[in-house]
A and B are shown apart, each in its own frame.
Chain A
Amino acid sequence: MAQHIVVDPVTRIEGHLRVEATVDEGGKVSDAVSSGTAWRGLELVMKDRDPRDAWAYIQRICGVCTTAHALASLRAVEDALGITIPKNANYIRNIMAATLTVQDHIVHFYHLHALDWVSPVEALAADPVATANLQNTVLNTYKLPFRAPDVSSTEAYDHAFPAATPQYFAEIQGKVKAIVESGQLGIFSANWWDHPDYKLLPPEVHLMAVAHYLEMLDKQRELVTPHVIFGGKNPHPHYVVGGMPCSISLNDGNAPVNTARLDIVDRAINLGRTLVNNYYIPDLLAIGTAYVKAGRVDGGGMAKKCVLAYGSYPIEPFSGTSNGDFFKNLLIRCNGVVENFGQGVANAKFTEINGDDVTDSSVLTESVEHSWYSYQKSDSDELHPWDGETKPNYTGPKTGTGTEWQELNEQGKYSWLKTPKWHGKLAEVGPLARYIIIYTKAQKGLLGEPTWAEKMMLDQIDAVSKVLNLAPEVWLPTMVGRTAARGLDCQLNAEINKFFFDKLIANIKAGDTKVANSEKWDPSTWPKTAKGVGLYEAPRGGLSHWIVIKNGKTDNYQCVVPTTWNACPRDDKAGHGAYEMAMMETQVKDPSKPLEIVKVIRSFDPCMACATHMFNAKGEQIGVLTTDPYSGTHVEMADKADKADK
């Protein structure tokens, strides 16, 4: 008999996520539900704010991918106001972005995802001598040699290297043993440690990975020091519309940026390169290979059908996004959609995304059939974000009460996420999407002369295909492929970080220290009405922010974020979203311990607070209609006039 399982809360993610799945007797998931269970209403908060402050407010959407929303917001505001930032600001913002991506991917792999693959309990059975040998083998076998060409190397040798001595592993094992024996398991409490998946890896891999979990927990903080230098703190560093606040002076000890401070940035960039090369990539490939050898090439879902990205890293400053200039000088030209990748590159279709597409009201839309909102005309309408409506319409669960859920109603509304679409279709976004798009473009001869970064991506894919002995079309659109693409993206971003650091140094050396363009700082220089779009390939995928400015104030603010694409509820016409499809392509061995489900979900790196913060597009009155049969029905109207008076 089919069983209905609920996992709520899904932990080791950002925010509040619930999944439900119907598992039939053979362990096949016949239906799956992904629900964002919190709504904060941040775009509503944006109404009437100073657009120059938007980055600070909207950055608070998420503290894990901290800075992602600030960067997209700055681009949206600068697009609206026609501001081109100085070269140094472009390089520094790219360093901020690459720094985030490197640190965020490492934290995801080791601290959010690893405990689905490795277990401290299994590590107790490891032989420390064999583990030391394994460490050497893993480094020899799985280290990928890629480096950006022609970038500086200020590191005499790799200062961060995994220890490979039996004594070290015995020490770590002793620590784990003491924790287990103390009866206070702390963060290791109550997991499904007896799940058969943990037996896919030998005990020595578990011990090695647990050791690296601890080392990376200590090291990850050092990776974000560029945020502390350029933005004053992390999480949530500071920015300014028009560039960066961190003025540069080689004449002042008090200067936000001088040689000593740049050296701190350089050190962090060097560390990122060595950590990803000596720890992350080898660990990832060792574990991934074991899974692939065990036949685990499932969990792809949407990646085979449709992936989307906006393109990343403007090499030099650009004059705007809605005018298309953003797309003209990208380091990674993954701006587009690949459909049907699962059927091989020959059958796959690539469609470009450019400036016209982001402003065309029929290309990018959202609908709310299964979201706790209602549209004026019909919930299945596909509204462009500019024309979007948000009227919360909480209908409660299928069984249980409005405040005590049992099962959500997959037939009706069940999530605070909307359903974003590209030409009426759902898509997956993220590092995997970026790699699939670049690979497909290259294979189809659509890339032209690849940039160094695109070439590195193609070389990485080629190398992993050799390690796994599988074609890219086979291993990429899987759970392992999604996890591997994130690791490759981390390695790529570590090099991109150095690339832009070198450009920054060269530009300062040439005598340019400008970091902020203040020409349009004064609102009196702004048009009465302006619209802007900001695109940014965040660690979790394509992110877009839209702003409408009227009379110097934010009239409308909205974001379509990566996790909304991936975790969205189903659409009656377009089908299931990426989370639900991936779950439905996953075999569950024991429905009482659905480790496979949370593992495939975490392969997306969920960021729920990002996804569930809806908005009132036009700033009209918001009606909250509660139709909870247990608490009665009532309507509350938040009076916007109130706020205007304040």
Chain B
Amino acid sequence: MDKRESMWDVYLRKGMSRRSFLKGCAALTAMMGLSSDKVAKVAEAAEKKPLPVVVWIHGHECTGCDESFIRSAAPLASDVVLNEVALEYDHLLSAASGAPFEAHLDEVIQKYKGQYILAVEGAACTKDNGVYCMSGGHTFTHLLQKAAAGAAAIIAYGTCAVSGGIQAASPNPTGSSGIAHFTGSKPVVNVPGCPPIPEVMTGVVMHVALFGTVPPLDSEGRPRQFYGNRIHDTCYRRPFFDAGMFAENFDDEGSKAGWCLYKLGCRGPETYNSCGNMRWFQGMSYPIQSGAPCIGCSNAHFWDEGPMSRRLPQFSPAVDVDTIGAGLAAVTAVGVVGHAAASVVQKKKRIAAEQAEKGSGEE
């Protein structure tokens, strides 16, 4: 097979200096959330590793993940797709259509067998042999299995690819699920979110491109550097939660002053994502900063967790939210190492609350 270029080769071919190459590496290091002493390592990786081939396929989806990807500021999407990787197949950006495009995909899968990165956007539709999601005259699951078999690594972009997403919400009319059942033993990086933050999407590709390996993952296959914190723990409104200061209604004085949106249904306390620390558009905002409670869009099956305006709402009337706030803060403090504990506790509370609610004969 053809020799593939490293990032350094590309810089050489473009007549760019060693200095600008190192500058590029420093920017990438910062973008990936690594400390500056990792610049040398990034530079070394960028010099030696070949320019990776990326194949991006679409199942049951809305193309919002593609759109998020091209919103990335650092790196710019144009730099990623024209300079850092070879994006050989993508329904949104690729020029070609139809039979020649499908033939090109087969060629790429053969030529770069075991070496390409497969990016998957959208859920796998399984009901009735997958006929509710056809592309190129085949089922999407057929394409997914074919493309996964030859991939070096797989990136599941967005909550749909990770856990089925919106179409898998009850009653899941098309039998949709995350892609895991179709990827065999290949390493899968789960990048949930509806959609994920732009720089998280490009950051994952860049990590694979630079280090030749998938980024360090947590127990759910998510890159730790982007999904290591709960939004609640990194939220700029967190001090108000701890102080028991809550917005009671949309547009009230508390909402204006940046008080906690917990009582309006915010799912920040159970959601692992970078919205609180990286935020959207390079620190510009995230839903909570814009006055909207988090809907937990990076959580599996978040669409089926009850009305969005009611998170932790139905505790015994004797307990007010201020007490709950203090209690949870304590749990969080204990759970600095194993912060999953907070979610577990919370989930149990919620399930209990929901059962109590049901029992009270609402329906």
Interface of A with B (CB < 8 Å)? 6-16, 18, 37-42, 44-45, 47, 49-50, 52-53, 56-57, 60-64, 66, 107, 111-112, 115, 174-175, 178-179, 182-192, 214, 217-218, 220-221, 224-225, 228-240, 242-249, 251-257, 261, 264, 394, 396, 400, 402-406, 416, 513-516, 518, 521, 594, 598, 609, 622, 624, 626, 628, 631, 636, 638, 640, 642-644, 646
Asked whether, in the complex, the Cβ of A256 is within 8 Å of the Cβ of B128, the reply is no
Asked whether, in the complex, the Cβ of B78 is within 8 Å of the Cβ of A214, the reply is yes
Binds A, one of B144-152, B183-191, B247-255, B330-338: B247-255
In the bound complex, residues from chain B placing their C-beta under 8 Å from that of A234 are: 71, 280-281
Asked whether, in the complex, the Cβ of B65 is within 8 Å of the Cβ of A232, the reply is no
- Please judge, given known A-B contacts A16-B133, A646-B170, whether A64 and B250 are in contact too, CB under 8 Å: no
B317 within 8 A of A: no
Give bound CA distance, A225 to B279, whole Å: 13
B156 within 8 A of A: no
A-B CB contact pairs (8 Å), 25 listed? A18-B134, A40-B60, A40-B173, A41-B174, A45-B170, A53-B308, A175-B14, A178-B13, A186-B88, A187-B94, A228-B285, A229-B285, A232-B280, A233-B197, A245-B290, A246-B291, A252-B258, A254-B237, A255-B257, A255-B258, A256-B291, A261-B285, A521-B250, A598-B97, A622-B173
In the bound complex, residues from chain B placing their C-beta under 8 Å from that of A394 are: 128, 131-132
In the bound complex, residues from chain B placing their C-beta under 8 Å from that of A220 are: 70
- Please judge, given known A-B contacts A190-B101, A232-B287, A252-B257, whether A521 and B249 are in contact too, CB under 8 Å: yes
B98 within 8 A of A: yes
Give bound CA distance, A50 to B86, whole Å: 44
In the bound complex, residues from chain A placing their C-beta under 8 Å from that of B290 are: 228-232, 237-238, 245-246, 256
Total inter-chain residue pairs, C-beta < 8 Å? 351
Asked whether, in the complex, the Cβ of A179 is within 8 Å of the Cβ of B82, the reply is yes
B321 within 8 A of A: no
| Range of interface residues on B (Cβ < 8 Å) | 35 or more
Asked whether, in the complex, the Cβ of A8 is within 8 Å of the Cβ of B135, the reply is yes
- One digit per residue, 1 when the CB lies within 8 angstroms of any chain A CB and 0 when it does not, for chain B 106-141 equals 000000000000000000010111111111111110
Give bound CA distance, A514 to B85, whole Å: 47
In the bound complex, residues from chain A placing their C-beta under 8 Å from that of B280 are: 228, 232-234
Asked whether, in the complex, the Cβ of A256 is within 8 Å of the Cβ of B289, the reply is yes
Give bound CA distance, A136 to B130, whole Å: 53
Asked whether, in the complex, the Cβ of A42 is within 8 Å of the Cβ of B137, the reply is no
Asked whether, in the complex, the Cβ of B97 is within 8 Å of the Cβ of A57, the reply is no
Give bound CA distance, A516 to B255, whole Å: 11
In the bound complex, residues from chain B placing their C-beta under 8 Å from that of A9 are: 91, 97-98, 101-102, 135-136
In the bound complex, residues from chain A placing their C-beta under 8 Å from that of B176 are: 40
| Chain B proximity of A170: nearest CB distance (Å) | 12
In the bound complex, residues from chain B placing their C-beta under 8 Å from that of A253 are: 258
Give bound CA distance, A45 to B142, whole Å: 25
Binds A, one of B21-29, B161-169, B345-353: B161-169
Give bound CA distance, A8 to B195, whole Å: 26
- Say which residue of A115, A186, A190 sits within 8 Å of B82 (CB atoms): A186
B95 within 8 A of A: yes
B53 within 8 A of A: yes
Give bound CA distance, A192 to B131, whole Å: 30
